[in-house]
Amino acid sequence: MNIKNNNELLKKIETVAVILKPKAPELKNVFLKIKENFESVGIKVLLGKSSAKMIGRDCGVEFSELCEKSDFLLTVGGDGTLISAVRRSFKYNKPVLGVNLGTLGFLTNILPDELSSFLKDFKNNKYKIDTRMMIEASINMNDSVAFNDVVITRKSISHMVNIEAKVDGKLFNSYYGDGLIVSTPTGSTAYNLSSGGPVVYPFTEAFIVTPICPHSLTQRPLVLPAEFELELSTPDKEGAVVIIDGQDIYEIMQGEIIKIKIASKKAKLIRKEKLDYFDVLNTKLNWGQI
């Protein structure tokens, strides 16, 4: 497992592409204020086409063009909005800044009323870009990327699922229960955590393999180096369901194999210069509270 510090900064800060939380037309005024903040420091604002349509504006840009013409992306919403943008912009390798309108906000650490002061530091290169490991998953001949996790689970709530797991082609475990989570370190504080898995420092490169409600009490979470390639399948006639980051769903048949490996590129998240991960854990999870 390798932990590396990233000192990269943006080569230029001229254009931002804004993506708003879907199905939230009430964000129109929030967007207008954000646009004003960016333009006040000389940064041009582009708005995604679906976001523009949602708030009744005709200035929207298709997502591919949005990525090509911008220096970085800005998401307005919660962690889910940011994760979706990171996955969709994967091939463009664009850094993403998240403005938090959600509740927990592990990844979106800037509030709307903090944006103006952050942008002053941002323009003076007083910020950081964190790199986070992502997962590449091959499912039914489709390749997908995951920021948080790949989950294989049962099709029916009334049945458990058998999952056979291999590492570099060798069977290492057979799971029987509600399913299995393969998580990135960043995703360790998501579904993995609620299923009893460990919290892993987000700049680590590793897979966290956590069974969901296993039938056997001896089945425990496992942390594996990211150099391994995992293969998951089910011998069940009913097959199983694969869920990528809680956003994309695939059905697999008996014996079909899901191949999982570390992605060829990392996600890039823009953040405040002074932000400590353990402070985030203390704030978000109430660690250290009595």
79: annotated active-site residue: yes
Gyration radius (Cα) of the chain, Å:
20
Please classify residue 187 by burial: count the beta carbons closer than 10 Å to its beta carbon, then call 0-12 exposed, 13-18 middle and 19+ buried.
buried
**Least confident range of 3-7, 83-87, 231-235:** 3-7
Q: What is the spatial distance between Cα 231 and Cα 256, in angstroms, rounded to a whole number?
A: 10
| Tokens of residue 80, six digits | 């889910």
Is residue 108 within 8 Å of 27, Cβ to Cβ? no
| Structural domains of the chain in order of their starting residue, each with its CATH number | 15-133+266-285 (3.40.50.10330), 135-262 (2.60.200.30)
Of 79, 130, 149, 245, which residue is the catalytic one? 79
Is residue 271 within 8 Å of 95, Cβ to Cβ? no
Is residue 209 within 8 Å of 176, Cβ to Cβ? no
Bridge-partner residues for 138, per DSSP? 143, 259
Secondary structure class of 10 (helix, strand, coil)? coil
132-166: b (≥16 Cβ within 10 Å) or e:
bbbbbbebeeeebbbbbbbbbbbeeeeebbbbbbb
Q: What is the spatial distance between Cα 14 and Cα 71, in angstroms, rounded to a whole number?
A: 7
pLDDT in tens, 151-188: 999 998 889 999 999 999 999 999 999 999 999 999 99
Percent of the chain predicted with pLDDT > 90: 83
CB atoms within 10 A of CB 122: 23
Which residue's structure tokens are 């103006």?
Answer: 116
Position 289 scores a pLDDT of 67
pLDDT in tens, 22-37: 999 999 999 999 999 9
pLDDT in tens, 225-234: 999 999 999 9
Q: Look at residue 103 and tell me whether its pLDDT is greater than 70.
A: no
Q: Look at residue 7 and tell me whether its pLDDT is greater than 80.
A: no
